[in-house]
Amino acid sequence: MADPTCVFCRIIAGEVPAHFVIDQGDVLAFLDARPLFPGHTLVVPREHVVTLPELAPERVEPVFATVRRVAAAVVAGLDADGSFVALNNVVSQSVPHLHVHVVPRRRKDGLRGFFWPRTRYADEAEAEAVAARIREALDPADG
Q: Which of residues 28-57 bind its own copies (CB under 8 A)?
A: 30-31, 33-39, 41, 51-53, 55, 57
Q: Does 77 bind its own copies (CB under 8 A)?
A: yes
**Minimum gap (Å) between residue 14 Cβ and its own copies:** 16
Per the annotation, the verdict on 19 as an active-site residue is no
Q: Does 121 bind its own copies (CB under 8 A)?
A: yes
**Minimum gap (Å) between residue 84 Cβ and its own copies:** 6
Buried-exposed string 9-28: b where 16+ CB fall within 10 A, e elsewhere: bbbbeeeeebeebbeeeebb
Alpha-carbon distance of 107 to 61, in angstroms, equals 30
**Minimum gap (Å) between residue 44 Cβ and its own copies:** 14
- In single-letter form, the type of residue at position 47 comes to E
Alpha-carbon distance of 98 to 53, in angstroms, equals 10
Active-site positions read: 99
